Structure 1
């Protein structure tokens, strides 16, 4: 399969919101309850904060857009991000250790391109967010470790990782995501330490997708900062995926590999996105509301979990903003359940979108629920539970 064919097969645009107008979101005859989409929003108090920031800052933003942004970032924003992460992790992080990118996905793609040549690869767990589109763009080989639960991750992921890296010495990167999308596991402390040791032994660098890092006990500080690349963005933490603003926090000695490569790929993220991002972080820090969005998401998740207790089938405890309902031990096909819920104006996400289109292995039979965009989680989950219980 050539580069073009791999990219076509790995097209992940089906995973995201289609290009539609605002009326779609307001028309409840189409979708009444959105318990599927992975965006974060519909938080009125936060929207007011953003409105205030934009109204005060936008005039001065426009007059600064006559400059190219560059990959050096924007020093005031880099300083804020470095300070936030340094306080959380205890690592020594300098502003120059941060590179601003066009979203978190682009950050991952660039790192794969830098550290994996055409015969080298990356390993990550399935089911997952569609990282395969990023590896296809980077034209790297990819390897999977199938994990279906929190228990399985902690009990078997380190041994499976050791086996995979031993058999495939061409693997250069491990990509992990805690709390995981979609399964919702968060590695136990001992598991993380074992992963760290295994990667050091095999000289494999760790890419840590930290986009949900404030929704569970934080694990980054358990890893060696000299072998760790942290990827984050404004999409979830600050409920602003439309900014397309992400960042890489890399070991200082790796910057000589990263910055020149990215500088030759593109000039940098939109300067408006960078300046708006800076104003958002600065104002939220001043108001002591840096974790405001994630606090709201946690409350929605508690509401969802309480309603799901009324299901006739048991759901697993998960971390983060997602829950999966597994139909493996029933006669139901998750795709059929998804279609039934959609007819009843409830959006969820079916299991097959969390596996590459060219994946031939066994796929877990589930739907994923999200509390990211739905303000009426209680009513939506009550309706969902009623429909599924009637199907069982």
Structure 2
């Protein structure tokens, strides 16, 4: 007699799955995006960069040059750590832009920042391990870490960053292995941590001997002013940084990285070898050629200018058209606005009513590891034109009026 498991539809199958697969949540965004693919729907639900801002012509020229001058090498196996010129670019940008003493040996190129989170989970999280995370927290990290069966310990997020009092209490009560956070233009809230909170978090984690995972996917998308000081500057030997080319170059290339001390990178490299041997060398070489031949700061400025205008437009329309009980964040960068609904309005119900008006939002529920978020929404402003933002917010305003 065979061994049979049950699928979610109670259909018998000749497989017995690992218990942890049952505990890993589906990507809420990916499921919702299936519903919002119809062209008539104005979607604020995803987290996509604007494709019109991708340097298609320049990247195509870089690809042509790579095939012309290094085609065979670009189609061969490569080292796990990543293409050396690309690692040097990342390390050099950390040195010039943020004043961090980074070297290429401390950089591991990954298949997008999502793989960075998966590798960190593999190396650091044992089943039952206490992992602190912002509340609300990035659902991609929640999903990646969930596969390794941690105990999530949420830390409330205020207007200027984590509640450091709550974090201090948590560090005293539990043996926290690591704290994951997004200090710059946080996903989902859009909040940027203050310099004070960055120093306080670093001091608390140093005293507790806990690691900080600093997800800096949106650090380059700051609308004005100098870059914020990374937490790693205050906690150099206890911080693992992750970054992504998806927001500033092209998400389809699936290129991200981890920046950490060499001994940490060595362990992560072994974990990556067991996962996929190496990130595709073809896309690494194409991106490295593009970065060598073009000034990346110019397209980043265009991206930031465009997103700032759209963020201001969306926020202003919310202020003008939504009920005054609706509150929202006012990001200084990134791709998202976080809104809180009046008491008694369910974000899931609003999502369903919005679809009937051909507008989609993302309910805040999957960003919470301990329940909550039923009255919150994440709104993406990066992947919609000004006209579609205006029309979409007007549709949502009509939906909100139906609750009156």
Q: Distance in 1 between matches of 2:50 and 2:31?
A: 14
Quick check: 1:241 aligned with 2:246?
A: no
- 1:37–1:347 Cα contact (<8 Å) kept: no
SS of residue paired to 1:229: strand
Match of 1:379 in 2: 391
SS of residue paired to 1:63: helix
* Highest RCO, 1 vs 2 (Cα 8 Å, sep ≥ 6): 1
Match of 1:281 in 2: 291
Q: Distance in 1 between matches of 2:88 and 2:397?
A: 46
- After superposition, the Cα gap between the structure-2 partners of 1:379 and 1:50, relative to the gap in structure 1 and judged at 3 Å, is farther
Equivalent position to 1:176, from 152, 172, 181: 181
Question: Which 5+ residue runs of structure 1 have no aligned equivalent?
Answer: none
Equivalent position to 1:140, from 150, 164, 173: 150
Q: Distance in 2 between matches of 1:205 and 1:161?
A: 13
Quick check: 1:84 aligned with 2:89?
A: no
TM-score, normalised to structure 2's length? 0.83
Match of 2:80 in 1: 71
Aligned pair count reads: 376
Match of 1:199 in 2: 205
Question: Which 5+ residue runs of structure 2 have no aligned equivalent?
Answer: 1-15
- After superposition, the Cα gap between the structure-2 partners of 1:56 and 1:295, relative to the gap in structure 1 and judged at 3 Å, is farther
1:174-323 to structure 2, matched below 5 A, reads 174-178=179-183, 179-216=185-222, 217-220=227-230, 222-238=233-249, 240-285=250-295, 288-310=298-320, 311-313=322-324, 314-319=326-331, 320-323=334-337
- 1:75–1:95 Cα contact (<8 Å) kept: yes
- After superposition, the Cα gap between the structure-2 partners of 1:218 and 1:12, relative to the gap in structure 1 and judged at 3 Å, is farther
SS of residue paired to 1:40: coil
SS of residue paired to 1:12: coil
SS of residue paired to 1:285: coil
Measure how far apart 1:286 and its partner are.
6.2
Measure how far apart 1:338 and its partner are.
1.2
Q: Distance in 1 between matches of 2:91 and 2:77?
A: 23
- After superposition, the Cα gap between the structure-2 partners of 1:3 and 1:301, relative to the gap in structure 1 and judged at 3 Å, is farther
- 2:53–2:299 Cα contact (<8 Å) kept: no
Q: Distance in 2 between matches of 1:209 and 1:8?
A: 26
Q: Distance in 2 between matches of 1:308 and 1:18?
A: 23
Match of 2:339 in 1: 325
SS of residue paired to 1:237: coil
Quick check: 1:158 aligned with 2:158?
A: no
- 1:98–1:250 Cα contact (<8 Å) kept: yes
Deviation sequence 1:308-347 (CA, Å, 0-9, x none): 12122343333232112211x3332211111111121112
Structure 1, 108-117 or 158-167: larger mean CA deviation = 108-117
- After superposition, the Cα gap between the structure-2 partners of 1:223 and 1:280, relative to the gap in structure 1 and judged at 3 Å, is farther
1:336-351 to structure 2, matched below 5 A, reads 336-351=349-364
